[in-house]
Chain A
Amino acid sequence: MSVVVKLEDVHKSFGLVEVLRGVSFEVSAGEVVAIIGRSGSGKSTALRCINRLEKIQSGSIEVCGRRVEAPDLDLRALRQDVGIVFQSYNLFPHLTVEENIVLAPRRVKNVKGAEAHALARTALEQVGLSDKIDAYPEQLSGGQQQRVAIARSLAMSPKVMLFDEVTSALDPELTGEVLRVMEKLAKGGMTMIMVTHEMGFARRAADRVIYMHTGKVWETGTGAMLGSPQTPELKNFLANEL
């Protein structure tokens, strides 16, 4: 299988604080990878480096054959290949659900009227929100807003999708509806990297789990690894998490 995302010895500091201390991992096409770990372990930062929301100090990141840290990187092209969904949804509050979804396809890919509308319909069907096409974000629940954010990302047909603690702001019921959408995407063959605190979900949906600790990949394995942790740090982390 072809490698879609590859991090090699990535270092990243914010001021004097070294957040990533030599992170390496690969994600192949169609693979679903969950990154778990404590707050401050660098997992969100690692994710944000992949579409260059954060710039790295050393090491290399390759996404769909592009070197992310290269000075001559075509940033907009990279971002068309990489979708990202955030913890705080970040929908555009002044636009309807449809307008949120078609903004980038229309302005970046030049998709026109009826075609854009169809694109929005398809994306909303995928997240089960066809009836909300004309609603404004403030009229939706948190879970619905997050599903619209996923649809907005999907409409750009990314080659890989990043999920940054997308259910952390939601109650258990709304968390469930968002996770179901993500599982469906995973089954549909989408390449996904998700930072999550939902251990049950990571175990169930992920092909591979990466445990990060103090800015490093500490342990990695299949979902089953969560049942038999090798390192005391992961054991400790899981004990506190459950």
Chain B
Amino acid sequence: MMYTFDFSSLWAYWPEFLAGALTTLEMTFAATVLGLCIGVAGAIARGSRHAWLRVVAGGYVELVRNTPFLIQIFFLFFGLASVGVRMPVLAAAVLAMVINVGAYTTEIVRAGIEAVHPGQIEAAESLGLSVPQVYWYVILRPALERVYPALTSQFVLMMLSSSITSQISAEELTAVANNIQSITFRSLETYIVVALLYLVLTVLLKSGFWLLGQGLFPRRRRLGTPL
């Protein structure tokens, strides 16, 4: 079996590829920022003194982690539309990503919070710091530093699974590729190009996280040791 590669017929579509990649990146950026906020809030709620908060946060995590991402997307976009809640495709796609990654992030951040020695919290309280100050300076910062590698890979994973949102025609990289291959009939070449583009995006995202980490965690930058 012989196959003659022909990438030249794809060349005309580079603006589309680029636009798709940018959309993926933008969706990822939005979902990372919002997902992290939800993850931190969820992790704090899971360790709350109030039982109802723990139940709500725990239920959210279990619901999201035990159902398929595709079903969550369809529920938000098609399911809610039939009861009159309509939103733009991209909004639904990003919302689905935020809800999904927020649940996983909740568990990761919770692990980081639980690793903070209770004695450090007592020490902070004994110095007169307020509860929000204790959370911010003494609990969350070392917790995030500790789980930062796990967070990074979770958000990379989320970027890759954003390709599933092509199923509701979010115009991200995979949807663009699907269009191009149906026009050019060059599916092998198209998906090779797309795979490489995802690889580039991953490298970009990881570099971004690394740079951010250098700024956020000076101890790690200077000592290079895990906390």
Binding site for B on A (CB under 8 A): 51, 53, 76-77, 79-80, 82-84, 86, 88, 90-96, 103-104, 107-108, 136, 138-139, 149, 152-153, 156
Q: Which residues of B contact A (CB under 8 A)?
A: 117, 119-120, 122-130, 133, 137-138, 141-142, 145, 217, 219, 222-223, 225, 227
Q: When the two chains form the complex, which single residue of B119, B126, B133, B142 contacts A107, counting CB atoms closer than 8 Å?
A: B133
Tell me the smallest distance from the CB of A190 to a CB of chain B, in Å: 16
What number of A-B contacts does a CB cutoff of 8 Å give? 73
CB A198 to nearest CB in B, in angstroms, measures: 21
Interface of A is mostly: mixed
Q: Which residue of A lies closest to B138 (CB)?
A: A92
A93 lies within 8 A of B128 (CB): no
Quick one: which of A53, A76, A138, A149 contacts B128, CB cutoff 8 A?
Answer: A76
The reply to whether B128 and A104 form a contact with Cβ atoms under 8 Å apart is yes
Instruction: Tell which of A84, A88, A139 touches B126, judged by Cβ atoms closer than 8 Å.
Output: A84
Quick one: which of A103, A139, A156 has the most chain B CB within 10 A?
Answer: A103
In the complex, A136 Cα to B217 Cα: how many Å? 12
If the complex has contacts A107-B133, A136-B219, A138-B223, are A79 and B142 also in contact, measured as CB distance less than 8 A?
no
In the complex, which residues of chain B have a beta carbon less than 8 angstroms from the beta carbon of A149? 123
Q: Report the bound CA distance from A53 to B118 in whole Å.
A: 12
CB distance from B215 to the nearest CB of A (A): 14
Q: How far is the CB of B49 from chain A (nearest CB, A)?
A: 15
Complex contact B123–A86 (CB within 8 A)? yes
Q: Which residue of A lies closest to B137 (CB)?
A: A103
- B122 nearest in chain A by CB position: A53
11 contacts between A and B (CB under 8 A): A76-B128, A84-B123, A86-B119, A86-B122, A90-B123, A92-B124, A92-B137, A92-B138, A93-B219, A95-B219, A104-B127
